[in-house]
Amino acid sequence: MVMAKDGAIARVKLPLGRINATEARSLAEIAKEFGNGTIELSIRSNIQIRGIAPSNWDKAITALYDAGFGADNPSADDIRNVMVSPTASIDRTQLADTSRLATSLLKMLEGTEKYHALSPKFSFQIDGGEDCAMISHTGDIWLSSLEGGAHYAVGLASSPDTPPVGTVAQAEALSLIEALLDLFQSLAATGVTRMKHLFETLPQEQFLRELPFELSPAPTWKRKPPKPFSWLGTHSQKGGHFYAGAMPLLGRLQTEQLHKLAQLAESANGGEIRLTPWQGVLLPNIEQADCNRITTTLDELGLATLPEAPQARLRACSGSAGCASALADTLTDAERLAGMLIAGNKQVHITGCAKSCAALSPLPHTLLARSDDHYDLFSQDSAGPLRFGQLLASNITIDEAAFILNARNL
């Protein structure tokens, strides 16, 4: 449990970002009984249940464990931060199926007691070169498959869209991760919890020299660009099937929506639901003849399936209603903005403070709260003094922001 302004937050780690229909129904009931009735989809393909009152803390935790969530060893729950593409194992363009390596990594983390001391924010990404992939999330250790699938590029304190530190054979990937973790824990001083913090005082080159593992150089490797908005609508996958992706408003599902989504998944593929790092959902293994029915039902549930839909392009944090750091009610403002934006193809992030919790990297446009109902608008088009990009307008209302964004032909 993590405390917030609106009560406790239960952060539910989902192995490989996947749940089945039965688990989805359990989450909906737990959110309804013990939380505020909203299920938040996180940018790490996990679930959050907010608004849990102190009297319900233990009950909510017990209910989650009874439903099959949580690690076998409770002390390992927080370190299960292994992200894969939502289309891992089914993506037609993947260079490798990362599911087995990611599952083995999860088992190693849970089964090795010394790794339970890792920070809850210490994260891993195993990338198979899929078209449907988030490659700008910064993590502590990442691997990205090379052409042919027999080797991985390796990166530290960065993301797969940046240069790697070397390559490793697929068969040795898990052993390399183990060696990296052991070296990190042996070198990290008290209070140093992430790779990026270690490299503030210890050069990365020195860290790699001390690594008892030889990496091959990869001076020219570059991760291919993902396919834009491949997490929305229907797309062909391996094996002659299709998948359908959709996004709820601001990445939040109400309990009734989740119940109906579970029912839809059962009729579509036997009940499998995958979460995406864009705070959406994806239903894999759909028959081609069923695609229209699936997307129509998703639309009827209030989930956007078209990339140009304003709802599909908006991202927001919990705002002042749930977070003491936020300077504005971002959720309410984002809902208003969704109703005013015209169709377009660029994403907009509404954040209550500069910490930018809902987006690990800048989106094409960012609205940064200044005060209640007032924001600074940034564009990622050009470099600016802040990481959000160039300042377009200062201290504007949501209505003014909508006018500017529409004028820029979003």
Question: Alpha-carbon distance 252 to 249, whole Å?
Answer: 6
Q: What mean pLDDT is predicted for residues 125-141?
A: 97
pLDDT tier for residue 143 given thresholds of 50, 70 and 90: very high
The single-letter code of the amino acid at 127 is D
The answer to whether 389 and 381 have CB atoms below 8 angstroms apart is yes
pLDDT of residue 384: 58
Question: Alpha-carbon distance 206 to 31, whole Å?
Answer: 47
Cα 11 to the chain's mean position, in Å?
13
pTM over 0.85: yes
Tell me the pLDDT tens digit for each residue of 150-171: 999 999 999 999 999 999 999 9
Q: Which domains does the chain have, with CATH numbers?
A: 2-76+228-307 (3.90.480.10), 95-128+135-210 (no CATH), 312-407 (3.30.413.10)
Within 8 A by CB and 6+ apart from 150, the residues are 169, 170
The torsion region of residue 318 among left (phi > 0), alpha (psi -120 to 50) and beta comes to alpha
Q: What is the mean pLDDT of the chain?
A: 94
Q: What mean pLDDT is predicted for residues 176-182?
A: 98
pLDDT of residue 400: 97
* Residue 328 pLDDT exceeds 80: yes
Q: What is the percent of the chain with per-residue pLDDT over 70, rounded to a whole number?
A: 99
- Which of 72-86, 264-278, 375-389: highest mean pLDDT? 264-278
Look-up: residue for tokens 């894969």?
84
Q: What mean pLDDT is predicted for residues 225-249?
A: 96
pLDDT of residue 303: 98
Tell me the pLDDT tens digit for each residue of 363-376: 899 999 999 999 99
pLDDT of residue 129: 98
Within 8 A by CB and 6+ apart from 250, the residues are 279, 311, 314, 315, 316, 331, 334, 335
Instruction: Please give the structure tokens belonging to residue 193.
Output: 């919890």
The answer to whether 180 and 140 have CB atoms below 8 angstroms apart is no
pLDDT of residue 382: 58
pLDDT of residue 3: 78
Question: Alpha-carbon distance 23 to 4, whole Å?
Answer: 25
